[in-house]
Chain A
């Protein structure tokens, strides 16, 4: 008998399977298109240029910090990661139904593999920030050391949301479109084209209860120390952990029903 990669159920086997599936996702994405890797950059690049044009050339803009394009992109790229992962959560089980139906790997892998492959694409797109920071003349501060913390928070949030959304969408078809609608609203409800401090009245306090607010502000601290917001960050951290807890409970509860539905 030859050796296998870790015993079934071990952390090593989990990572092996996770890596295998995420790697496959990336290979499929990069090998089926002529531009391959460039798509990871092109997409956020074009989006940033559009927002830059609209908000710095067309409209009088009173929000954000200069250089605005860097300010924007520091939240836009993490948003693309969040948005594409949550969109894929809605089809996490149905997309590979056959594989889920016949492979007894831990079912949470179907969620985490999405987060990982989209996360890797996010990391691949980081050179866009470097490019704009140089062109726009933004100065890097010590805040960049908090970047990994922001990534970690976003990971926790995504795992929690994924464990919630993926099984619920499998059981109730309506939720797939609902999720997409909420995402669209969330884009404007999160500090992406603006910062938390640009909000009037009580809204900065309210906005802090959107876990993305604390995370995006933390990303921005790398270039904009004035975006540091311990209040939003603390609430965001608590909420991320809360979502993770809720996700774990719901996922365990719904797993048998999801498998029957496939």
Chain B
């Protein structure tokens, strides 16, 4: 559809309940009708919605209700068992704290690698490198292996790189909760900037204030289903009614 950045249609994905469960060849190669899967559950099912370009969506739900799974499916790092996700343009994902960084490589190499894998040409990476490092406040750690950074530094670096990518869609999981207050403010200012520039934002958070700050529309996930797709205020009201503090 014209103007839709993300189209999710009848999306469903299932996981195994226990990791050690036996897996038979029939499970993997057989058609869906032949499979016996007593040990599986649907992490998400029958989820459909469309996001317009430039919209900012807040995803609300308790832990384990499918928020991060939905983000991963939109980011394309998980494939659906049912339905489809169509994303128009690239996605800049800030999903896990360590999102896509390699422990043994230095900060410099990690920046090059991540930006490069998102299709940024080498010259462009070089041009923006200083800006990224400055934003992450890691001037003294450029040649430090990533694994030796503190958790706060890791998040700073990840956000600095991912927000510098020219992808039209930005996914932010709860990672920012790790940074200190000053840095969080800096990140939020950057997100505001990106939104003003017409990016589409997909934001997962437990923090009501953050959600209200960025998002107009909310998606409320409950037990893997899309319980409500409405304005953020409505969604938060319903969420708070379901789980009174």
Q: Residues of A at under 8 Å CB distance from B? A: 1-6, 8, 13, 16-17, 20-21, 24, 28, 96, 98-105, 171-172, 253-257, 259-260
Contact = CB atoms under 8 A, between A and B. Distances in A.
A201 B211 CA distance: 77
Contacts of A100: 77
Chain B interface mostly helix, strand, loop or mixed? loop
Chain A interface mostly helix, strand, loop or mixed? helix
Contacts of B90: 4, 8
A3 B121 contact: yes
Contacts, number: 84
Given A24-B113, A102-B93, 7 more contacts: A8-B90, A98-B96, A99-B117, A101-B77, A103-B77, A104-B91, A171-B23
| Closest 7 A/B residue pairs (Cβ) | A104-B76, A4-B119, A102-B100, A256-B79, A20-B116, A102-B99, A5-B119
Contacts of B93: 102, 104
A171 B95 contact: no
Interface stretch (B50-58, B101-109, B235-243): B101-109
Nearest to B128: A2
B227 interface: no
B95 A102 contact: yes
A103 B121 contact: no
B119 A13 contact: yes
B7 interface: no
A5 B101 contact: no
Size class of B's contact patch?
A: 35 or more
Interface of B: 13, 15-16, 23, 28-29, 75-81, 90-91, 93, 95-96, 98-105, 109, 113-114, 116-121, 124, 166
Nearest to A24: B113
A1 B169 CA distance: 13
Contacts of B15: 260
19 contacts: A3-B121, A4-B120, A4-B166, A17-B119, A20-B113, A21-B113, A102-B93, A102-B100, A103-B77, A103-B100, A103-B114, A104-B76, A104-B91, A104-B93, A171-B28, A253-B28, A256-B79, A259-B79, A260-B15
Contacts of A172: 23
B117 A17 contact: yes
A1 B166 contact: yes
B29 A253 contact: yes
